[in-house]
Amino acid sequence: MRSIYRSPAAHDQVRDWCEKRLDAWPVPHTRSHVDTSAGATHVTTAGSTPAPGTPSIVLVPGTNMNTAVSLDTLESLSGVGQAIAVDVPGQPGLSTAVRPGRDRTARYGRWLSEVMDQVAPRGAVVVGHSLGGAIALACTSERITARVVVSPAGLIRLRVSPAVLGATLPWLLRPTVHRAERLLRHMAAPGTRPPHALADWMALVGTCRSSLAPPPLPRSALTAARTAPVFVIVGAGDTFLPASSLRRAAELLLGADLLVIGGAGHLVLDEAVDRVASVVSEALGAR
């Protein structure tokens, strides 16, 4: 498999951006790498060690995202419990640059199991956004005490409107901050402006080989995910995952109610992180 980076220089630029963000983050935290079958995985931990019998929180970011872009989310989650963020292999960040091959989502599920064995021996509530949501649903680890999937892939196919496509293609052809902002406005709630740091990041990763959203998971995998409580969250303005379609899938495939958050789009972790943290707090007690 090829690296997601088109050149060594692109690799270095992404790593430098992430490391500078983490180095400047004032929240006390630790950083490390763990070895997995998918390659070295970068792990960032914030918050105090949980009491015996209390699970941690594991955050799995979505496509093109990572810990360094998700520091506000990680900080909010660390106020609920010990929060552990992982950079997904094959996504821009500080983990290995190569994606798993065939059956990618299933392999990502096994990767997450291996990570949890090493970083969450007491168990954890897994919080997955977009691609991370699909990974959380595909992971069969017995250490998962609950799943909180936010604007999750893996249930239905993401809808790409002509307007989104019209903003995506120029960004891919020549990524700039302006073009990244135009794309992010479609991902955010209508009438809101995405964080400037996120636009800077998307301008940078536009030079990488972006991955598409995974297809829906097999019904057998979704049935297996029901062994632990599942909480499904979406923004009311999510252009990729309309709430009406996602609600039917969540109820039918996961037996879960859908929480629709007003004033948020696909970037609900940035737009309504406190609401997500409150659901995670509920999930910690729902084992």
Contacts of 9 (CB under 8 A, 6+ apart): none
The predicted structure's pLDDT at residue 1 = 64
Decide if pLDDT at 103 tops 90: no
Q: What is the pLDDT of residues 14-56, one digit of tens each?
A: 999 999 999 999 999 999 999 999 999 999 999 988 888 889 9
For residues 193 and 185, the answer to whether their CB atoms sit within 8 Å is yes
**197/22 Cα distance (integer angstroms):** 13
Phi/psi at 6 (5° precision)? -80, -15
pLDDT for 209 equals 86
CA pair distance 197, 69, nearest whole angstrom: 8
Q: Model confidence over 146-172: pLDDT tens digits?
A: 999 999 999 999 999 999 999 999 998
Taking 90 as the threshold, does the pLDDT of residue 187 lie above it?
yes
Mean pLDDT, to the nearest integer, of 114-134?
96
CA distance 89 to 41: 7
d(CA 104, CA 187): 24
Confidence at residue 287, expressed as pLDDT on a 0 to 100 scale: 62
Which of 223, 35, 215, 210 is CA-nearest to residue 111? 35
d(CA 277, CA 85): 14
Tens-place pLDDT, residues 253-283: 999 999 999 999 999 999 999 999 999 999 9
Least confident of 7-11, 82-86, 129-133: 7-11
Taking residues 130-145, what's their average pLDDT?
A: 97
Question: Sheet harboring 144-150: ordered strands across?
Answer: 29-34, 41-46, 83-86, 56-60, 124-129, 144-150, 230-235, 258-261
| Per-residue pLDDT, 246 | 96
> For position 2, what pLDDT does the model report?
78
Question: How much is the pLDDT for 37?
Answer: 93
Q: 232 - beta bridge partners?
A: 149, 258
| pLDDT reported for residue 286 | 76
- Round to whole Å and give the CA distance between 207 and 186: 20
Mean pLDDT, all residues of the chain: 94
Q: Three-state SS for 50? A: coil
